[in-house]
Amino acid sequence: SFDLPAAANHSVIALLVDACLLIGCVRALRSENAESRGRRLWDSVQGPIKATVAAVYFFAVFHKLNSSYFDPDVSCATTQVAKMFELHGFERPTSLSVFGFNIYLTLILEILIIVFLLWPRFSHGGALIGLLFHTAVGWAQFFDFATVVFALYLFFLPWDGIQRNISRIPRWAHACFLG
């Protein structure tokens, strides 16, 4: 909050999610039995966190709808791919128009991610597309934003499915993860 209004996107999202979690924890602690606290926390924060992620994706697409974004010579969609090549030891291309396809690919993927995430039947697909997209973007040094978004995708998945999959994890894996 000290960096606002110039804070990084992932910092703003993390601040909003932290506020949701704090409010949700207070609500969960007021639950009668300990068994239902996890579910109550989930129910308290899932909607606001989903709305936050949806708003972030909406504005991510909306702010790209300008002439500069569609100009391959200055678009972040092309310059970031060129930067990714440089960071990994490849020669930077002389013309950024080679990466012009990435302008439209980025818009399409960001729209697909949020549409699928908000459509419960396809939320797993939205999370998968998002994981692939943000992993690729992470190679251009946006790994900090990618890790925050990866964690937030969980809130688009149903509680029962997550609980069922967590119960499949062997006990020894918990200790390894903590270690």
Left (φ > 0), alpha (ψ -120 to 50) or beta: where does 89 sit?
left
Instruction: Give dist(CA 69, CA 92) in Å, integer.
Output: 20
Amino acid letter for position 87: L
DSSP state of 122: G
In the predicted structure, residue 12 carries a pLDDT above the cut 90: no
Q: What is the mean pLDDT of the chain?
A: 86
**DSSP one-letter code for 93:** P
* 93-125 tens-digit pLDDT: 778 888 899 999 999 999 999 999 999 999 999
CA distance 149 to 49: 11
CA 49 to chain centre: 11
Model confidence at 40: pLDDT above 90: no
Residue 62's pLDDT band (boundaries 50, 70, 90)? very high
- Which amino acid would we find at residue 53? V
Residue 86 is predicted with a pLDDT of 84
**H or E stretch covering 51:** helix 37-62
pLDDT at 110: 95
The whole-angstrom separation of Cα 74 and Cα 135 is: 23
Query: 3-class DSSP state for residue 32?
Result: coil
